[in-house]
Amino acid sequence: MKAVVIGCGRVGSAVAKGLLADGWDVTAVDESEDALMRLGSGWRGGFVVGHGMDATVLEQAGVPDADAAVVSTNGDNTNLVIGQVLQKRYGIGCVVVRVLDPARAEFYAERGLRTVCPTQTAISVLLDTVRATAPAPA
């Protein structure tokens, strides 16, 4: 089973390593060659330097026969566009897209894109933690 991770920063690199450990055949894509360092010296997956908007880069990373893709570059709109391209043009069944802005994450989730919003998660966890650990105001 093949997975492609687009955007190999703190989040992307950790996801790539996790998927590799789960037994996936993983290729990571990042604009900067330095991102390879985040994957560690023992990295046995693939790595392609380039921008995820570039179809040549996507194809080099093996997107046409990927079963899953995670899109986590540092730009919400870039992620939203790449995620839709992976879903609609390459027909990847499992595409997960990181979107920091909760409103855009919800907008695209309603239209069939699997968006994950770390901001929304932080908001929920912070609120829940306060609610669980402090007495409710009188």
Partner 1 sequence: MYVVVAGGGKVGANVTRTLLEMGHEVTMIEQRPDRFALLEEEFGPVVMRGDATEISVLERAGIARPPELLLAATGDDEDNLVISQIGKEGYGVPKAIARVNDPRNQAHFDLLGITQTICATTSVLGLVEHEVPEHGLVRLLELQKEGLEIVEVQIEKDSPVAGSRAGGLKLPGGSRLISVFRHGRTELVEPETVMRPGDQVLAIVSNDSALDLRRVLLGAPK
Which CB atom, from 104 or from 114, has the smaller least distance to partner 1? 104
Q: How far apart are CA 1 and CA 67, in angstroms?
A: 6
User: Closest separation between CB of residue 5 and partner 1, Å?
Assistant: 18
User: Closest separation between CB of residue 92 and partner 1, Å?
Assistant: 14
Task: Take residue 94 and report the two structure tokens written for it.
Answer: 């499992």
Query: Which residues are at the interface with partner 1 (CB under 8 A)?
Result: 53-55, 75-78, 80-81, 84-85, 88-89, 101, 103-104, 107, 111
Which CB atom, from 6 or from 26, has the smaller least distance to partner 1? 6
Output the CA torsion sign for 16, 87, 99, 120.
negative
CB atoms within 10 A of CB 107: 14
